[in-house]
Structure 1
Amino acid sequence: MPTGLDIIFVVLSIAEFTIGILGNVFIGLVNCSEWVKNQKISLANFILTCLAIFRISQLLVLLFKSLILGLSLHLHLTYTIAKLMSLLWRITDHLTTWLATCLSIFYLLKIAYFSHPLFLWLKLRLNRVIPVTFLFSLFFLIVDFLLLEIFNDFFLNVYILDKSNLTLFIDESKTHYVETLILLSLTCFFPIVLSLTSLLLLFLSLVRHIRNLQLNSMSSRDSSTEAHKKAIRMVMSFFFLFIVHFFSIQVTNWLFLMTWINKFAKFAMLAVYIFPSGHPFILIVGNSQLRQTILKVLWHLKSFSKRENLLQIYR
């Protein structure tokens, strides 16, 4: 039977899931409607649309896993379901992470300016660099699949096949489990480095741009400066949320390693929702088209609410 803490965990998971779904569905609907209306879509909006779609899938996987852990832990201990959850989670997490990283690279190449030949070469080929970067990330997804097989074999041997001699066997298998966790963590190293590099180069480009404006006795509040600041805020927000997301996953895994039925690990999972649920709203605020659309939606909802209140008064 689920305890009170299990119920609280499930309720909080559903709340975070709902918030994330609303943000991602909104981004997907707005961009898809514009795509159909104009018969074309910009690279940035295409990345945002794909990101929203995969994040919806990621949130569904995360919610299903939360419901299993919160309401029926024994179901999670079946090998087939555990393997399927690990596979689906790794795919969706990988795709959303790299799409957000590609968005950071897009902001860098679109807004920053450096005279270095390599940077100029990449800038001129922006529409090719982003797809190639994403395709390159699929190599790490293959590596993840191979590592997940090791992880799932550990799960099968320890929690399914060797329950009768669990204490003796787990000491030998924990080493392989730890090594797998470390290797899986290393696959996130590249998007972290790329995002941090994009952030630092954007900041450096902004500093150089402001310095040039000051040397020419011009105002530092021009359109390029504002675009730099906006891009820096977007990349910084992604980088911060991704770091929180990354460490919350690691904490959850290590807590489950120490004690499989660990209620602290369940609540550590709540922090995993922050990235797929919170980042869409930062993207909405930072995108003028999405921001204007959501303001219109809120205005219509407010007007509808006022009309309903007036009708109730006159009745």
Structure 2
Amino acid sequence: MFTELGSMYLVLSVVELVVGMLGNMFIGVVNCLEWVKDRKVSLADSILTCLAVSRISYLLVVLFDSFITILSPHFGFYKAANSITKLWNVTNHFTTWFATSLSILYFLKVAHFSHPLFLWLKWRTNRVVFGVLVFSLFLLTSDMLLLGSITDSIVFMYATGKNNLTLYLDESKILDVKFLIFHYLASLIPFVLSLASLFLLFLSLVRHTRNLELGSVGSGDASTKAHKKAMKMVLSFLFLFIIHFSFTQVAPWLFLLFHKSKLIIFFMLTLNVFPSGHPFILILGNGKLRQTALQVLCYLKCHLKRANPLAFY
């Protein structure tokens, strides 16, 4: 049913997802062109490209789900719910783990600690990141085997109109809470790894910035400014990641408890803040991407100025 509320949701979804697609496509195109030009690619650029591709896939799945939910809710839930949920779970899994791997990589490459464990990991950075990605594939396989029963239970609740979760669990026993617990624990692992990596990286940057300020006349030198900028990037990344993880974990329970509320669809907009906003943080924090973005903006400005010179006066 295409209502005014549904129209507002679709407009906000399209705007949010288009912005996210532009940022992720920019990262992917720049890194691919760099690879074609130099015939080599660094580990960081490889993870950035994979992260951009996974986020583009994630946003396409979310966009498709938004149109199905608003334009054809019955078809969307009874015919496509299982497939969409699995696609969302897979794309969200890769998006989360590539972001986690990027956090670990930046931590091992940028941070400075004298602890033997950190030094041991730093010397094996590539193997550590590769091991994290392989471990994520194992978790994805286990999670997908259990996801089918959870999805069937949620669809059954919508189909039967049950809105009392406690009564539903007592009567039917279809929704196995153990599966949900395993799913949450699997999601908790990348969150803890990212949180620890970003927090330790932030502490290292704070300590290094303080040492630079004490060793220089003031805080206006280029090195100190660069470290302060990096600290802001890390905090922004950490803030968005915490929001995304928190809302992702409470989403299944909100849909189970308040599935009759029409406002629940706007909850999905919050889930897309991280994959849509984080690419621009990466662009601002990466020298190559930032420089390319400035060149593109300068080119577009000059092109628009030639096309309509009166608009700039």
Give the structure 1 partner of residue 281 of structure 2.
282
Task: List per-residue Cα deviations over 1:12-31 (Å, max 9, x = no partner).
Answer: 11111111111111110001
Q: Tell me the CA shift for residue 253 of structure 1.
A: 2.6
List aligned pairs for 1:147-226, cutoff 5 A. Answer: 147-155=146-154, 157-159=156-158, 163=160, 172-173=171-172, 176=175, 180-210=179-209, 217-218=215-216
Q: Which SS does the other structure have where 2:243 is aligned?
A: helix
Q: Tell me the CA shift for residue 189 of structure 1.
A: 1.2
Most deviating of 41-50 and 250-259: 250-259
Q: Which SS does the other structure have where 2:18 is aligned?
A: helix
Is it true that 1:138 corresponds to 2:137 in the alignment?
yes
Task: List per-residue Cα deviations over 1:141-189 (Å, max 9, x = no partner).
Answer: 12321331221231454445xx499988676348826554444222221
Provide the C-alpha distance between the structure 2 equivalents of 1:58 and 1:114, rounded to a whole number of angstroms.
36
List aligned pairs for 1:22-33, cutoff 5 A. Answer: 22-33=22-33
Give the structure 1 partner of residue 272 of structure 2.
273
Give the structure 1 partner of residue 40 of structure 2.
40
Give the structure 1 partner of residue 297 of structure 2.
298
Sort the Cα spacing of 1:116 and 1:247 in 2 relative to 1 into closer, same or farther, 3 A.
closer
Give the structure 1 partner of residue 10 of structure 2.
10
Most deviating of 293-302 and 233-242: 233-242
- AA partner of residue 138 (structure 2): F
Provide the C-alpha distance between the structure 2 equivalents of 1:143 and 1:209, rounded to a whole number of angstroms.
41
Whether the 8 Å CA contact 2:237–2:278 is kept in 1: the answer is yes
Q: Which SS does the other structure have where 1:187 is aligned?
A: helix
Q: Which SS does the other structure have where 1:77 is aligned?
A: helix
Provide the C-alpha distance between the structure 2 equivalents of 1:38 and 1:128, rounded to a whole number of angstroms.
24
Most deviating of 58-67 and 116-125: 116-125
- AA partner of residue 91 (structure 1): V
List aligned pairs for 1:17-96, cutoff 5 A. Answer: 17-79=17-79, 81-96=80-95
Whether the 8 Å CA contact 1:87–1:148 is kept in 2: the answer is yes
Question: Aligned Cα RMSD in Å?
Answer: 2.9
Provide the C-alpha distance between the structure 2 equivalents of 1:225 and 1:196, rounded to a whole number of angstroms.
24
Whether the 8 Å CA contact 2:17–2:63 is kept in 1: the answer is yes
Whether the 8 Å CA contact 1:249–1:269 is kept in 2: the answer is no
Whether the 8 Å CA contact 2:113–2:204 is kept in 1: the answer is yes
Provide the C-alpha distance between the structure 2 equivalents of 1:272 and 1:70, rounded to a whole number of angstroms.
17
Give the structure 1 partner of residue 252 of structure 2.
253
- AA partner of residue 198 (structure 1): S
- AA partner of residue 152 (structure 2): D
Q: Tell me the CA shift for residue 273 of structure 1.
A: 1.3
Provide the C-alpha distance between the structure 1 equivalents of 2:217 and 2:137, rounded to a whole number of angstroms.
44
Provide the C-alpha distance between the structure 1 equivalents of 2:208 and 2:5, rounded to a whole number of angstroms.
53
Whether the 8 Å CA contact 2:153–2:174 is kept in 1: the answer is no
Structure 2 gap segments, 5+ residues each: none
Sort the Cα spacing of 1:65 and 1:154 in 2 relative to 1 into closer, same or farther, 3 A.
same
Q: Tell me the CA shift for residue 237 of structure 1.
A: 2.1
Provide the C-alpha distance between the structure 1 equivalents of 2:149 and 2:306, rounded to a whole number of angstroms.
60
Q: Tell me the CA shift for residue 93 of structure 1.
A: 0.4
TM-score w.r.t. the length of structure 1 is: 0.87
Q: Which SS does the other structure have where 2:175 is aligned?
A: helix
Q: Tell me the CA shift for residue 287 of structure 1.
A: 0.8
- AA partner of residue 266 (structure 1): I
Q: Tell me the CA shift for residue 82 of structure 1.
A: 1.1
Sort the Cα spacing of 1:110 and 1:220 in 2 relative to 1 into closer, same or farther, 3 A.
farther
Aligned residues: 309
Q: Which SS does the other structure have where 1:234 is aligned?
A: helix
Whether the 8 Å CA contact 1:105–1:195 is kept in 2: the answer is yes
Provide the C-alpha distance between the structure 2 equivalents of 1:214 and 1:70, rounded to a whole number of angstroms.
55
Q: Which SS does the other structure have where 1:2 is aligned?
A: coil
Sort the Cα spacing of 1:33 and 1:278 in 2 relative to 1 into closer, same or farther, 3 A.
same
Provide the C-alpha distance between the structure 2 equivalents of 1:22 and 1:208, rounded to a whole number of angstroms.
35
Sort the Cα spacing of 1:236 and 1:177 in 2 relative to 1 into closer, same or farther, 3 A.
farther
Provide the C-alpha distance between the structure 2 equivalents of 1:127 and 1:98, rounded to a whole number of angstroms.
15
